Amino acid sequence: MMALVLLLAALSGLPPKEVKLSCGVSKGLDPKATWSKPCPVPTWAPTWDLARSTAIQPCNATGWYDPVYAAKWGLVSVSPMESAPPDCEERLVEQCKKIKTINPDVKCFVYRNTELALEWLGSQRAVMDEAHAGFFLNFQGGNASAKCAAAGPCTYSSNGGPSNRPAYKYGDFCCPVANVYCEVASGCPWQGAKQFFWDFRNTSLHDWWMDNLFMGKNGFGSGNKWVDGCFSDVSRPPML
């Protein structure tokens, strides 16, 4: 709902003072919330032109989405390719570049997942290691180590793992580092792509998450002129 309000307010040209939002969690959603950041609404000029006030979220499962068609609309929220290549994050930026090169007035958003750390997005892959294990949820319960050992590593006989390791199958979960719980990406051609769950109880994660997940070089920070914002899904307010 918050994302929808932000999008509608942005397209209607409301000034920031008329819509009160925060990047994080509002006390109304979670009374225990301890952090948030200012999240003013973009002051884009309103328009009655139907195409220019319409948002689309296209995806081409096999390659680039047609930038000529996308450039006809006011806001384009670019989704990842279904093939989820390892450089998917950079490709999202390149897709925005292709669109905005044709029409600089288009607002282009890139995809982010707020619940999962996805190995096929480079900025997240960089911290999906033992040094940052505290960023992620562990196997639940006091016997997390035993559960981790029973789950086994995230390599399968079908993705380069040992021959005595079962082939990947839908719904598999595994233990990549420490006791971090991992679900293998379903439907991903490079089987074994890892998905961790962010642990927002760790306060050291908060700033990194905002500054890198959304505002990093492939987001809408760091002077990136091709990306105007991020579309995020799988929002879990009580977790934040």
| pLDDT classification of 9: cutoffs 50, 70, 90 | very low
The H or E element that residue 6 is part of is helix 2-12
Q: Assign 38 a pLDDT band (cuts: 50, 70, 90).
A: low
CB atoms within 10 A of CB 37: 12
- Specify the pLDDT at position 162: 67
| Inter-residue contact 85 to 174 (CB < 8 Å) | no
pLDDT of residue 75: 94
Please say if the pLDDT value at position 7 is more than 60: no
Give me the amino acid identity at 210: M
Of 23-27, 169-173, 206-210, which gets the smallest average pLDDT?
23-27
> Of residues 166 and 224, which shows the higher confidence score?
224
Secondary structure of 42-70 in the HEC alphabet?
CCCCCCCCCCCCCEECCCCCCCCCCHHHH
- What's the pLDDT at 69? 96
Nearest to 113 by CA among 146, 88, 76, 83: 88
Q: Is residue 101 over pLDDT 60? A: yes
Per-residue pLDDT reduced to its tens digit, 126-170: 999 999 999 999 888 778 888 888 877 777 666 666 677 667 666
Rounded to an integer, the average pLDDT of 94-107 is: 95
Contact at 8 Å (CB) between 188 and 178?
Answer: no
In the three-class reduction of DSSP (H, G, I as helix; E, B as strand; rest coil), residue 239 is classed as helix
Q: Answer with the residue of higher pLDDT: 68 or 40.
A: 68
Q: How confident is the model at residue 188 (pLDDT cuts 50, 70, 90)?
A: very low
Q: What percent of the chain has pLDDT over 90?
A: 22
What is the pLDDT at residue 25?
53
**Mean pLDDT, residues 38-44 taken together:** 69
Which pair of tokens denotes residue 180? 């971090």
Give residue 194's pLDDT. Answer: 81
Over 60: is that where the pLDDT of 206 sits?
yes
